[in-house]
A and B are shown apart, each in its own frame.
Chain A
Amino acid sequence: MNKPTDVELYERIQSRDKEALELLYDRYEKLLYSFAYRFTKDTQMAEEVMQDVFLKLWRGKGAGTYVRERGKFSSWLLTITRNGSIDLLRKKKVKEVEWHNRDSLHEDLPGVEKEIEDKEERDALRKAIHTLPDSQQRMICLFYFQGMSQREIAEKCDIPLGTVKGRVRLALKKLRENLEKEGGIDDERS
Chain B
Amino acid sequence: MKDHKCEWVLDYINDQLTEEERIEFEQHLKECAECREEVNEIEGMMADVSSHIEEVDPPEGMKERVLHQVFAEETSETNTVTPSKKSFAPLSKVWTGALAAGLLLSIGANVLLGTQLQQLSSDNENLESTLSDIQVALSELEDEQNRNELATASPFERASLSPTEEFGGGGLATMTQRETGYELLVQVQEMEELEEDQVYQVWLIEGQNPVPAGAFVTDDQGNGAVTFEMNEEDDQSWDAIAVTKEPQPNNEQPEGDIVLQAEL
A residues adjacent to B (C-beta < 8 A) = 16, 18, 21-22, 25-26, 29-31, 33-35, 37-38, 43, 47, 50-51, 54-55, 58-59, 62-63, 65, 67, 69-72, 74-76, 78-80, 82-83, 123-125, 128, 143-144, 147-150, 153, 161-162, 164-165, 168-169, 172-173, 175-176, 179, 182-183
Given A75-B47, A78-B46, A147-B14, the answer on whether A47 and B66 have CB atoms closer than 8 Å is: yes
List 19 other contacts, CB 8 Å, given A51-B70, A147-B16, A175-B49: A21-B67, A34-B56, A35-B50, A35-B53, A50-B58, A50-B62, A55-B70, A63-B15, A69-B30, A72-B40, A72-B43, A72-B44, A124-B52, A125-B52, A143-B10, A143-B14, A172-B45, A173-B45, A175-B45
- Determine the distance from Cα of A135 to Cα of B34 in the docked complex, in whole angstroms: 26
Chain B: interface residue count, which band? 35 or more
Instruction: Give the chain B neighbours of A182 by CB distance below 8 A.
Output: 52
Q: Mark B65-80, 1 if CB is under 8 A from A, else 0.
A: 1110111011001000
Instruction: Give the chain B neighbours of A144 by CB distance below 8 A.
Output: 46, 49
Instruction: Give the chain B neighbours of A74 by CB distance below 8 A.
Output: 47
Chain A: CB-nearest residue to B30: A69
- Determine the distance from Cα of A143 to Cα of B43 in the docked complex, in whole angstroms: 12
Verify A150–B44 contact, CB threshold 8 A. Answer: no
Instruction: Give the chain A neighbours of B15 by CB distance below 8 A.
Output: 63, 79-80, 83, 147
- Determine the distance from Cα of A18 to Cα of B75 in the docked complex, in whole angstroms: 13
Given A33-B62, A70-B40, A149-B16, the answer on whether A82 and B46 have CB atoms closer than 8 Å is: yes
B residues adjacent to A (C-beta < 8 A) = 7, 9-11, 13-16, 19, 22, 26, 29-30, 36, 38-50, 52-59, 62-63, 65-67, 69-71, 73-74, 77
Q: What's the A-B contact tally at a CB cutoff of 8 Å? A: 153
Task: Output the least CB separation between B137 and chain A (Å).
Answer: 16
- Determine the distance from Cα of A26 to Cα of B71 in the docked complex, in whole angstroms: 16
Interchain residue pairs with CB less than 8 A apart (10): A33-B56, A33-B58, A50-B62, A55-B70, A70-B43, A71-B40, A71-B43, A147-B15, A162-B7, A175-B45
- Determine the distance from Cα of A34 to Cα of B50 in the docked complex, in whole angstroms: 10
- Determine the distance from Cα of A26 to Cα of B14 in the docked complex, in whole angstroms: 25
Instruction: Give the chain B neighbours of A80 by CB distance below 8 A.
Output: 15
- Determine the distance from Cα of A176 to Cα of B16 in the docked complex, in whole angstroms: 24
Q: Is the interface of A mostly helix, strand, loop or mixed?
A: helix
Verify A38–B14 contact, CB threshold 8 A. Answer: no
Instruction: Give the chain B neighbours of A26 by CB distance below 8 A.
Output: 63
- Determine the distance from Cα of A164 to Cα of B53 in the docked complex, in whole angstroms: 25
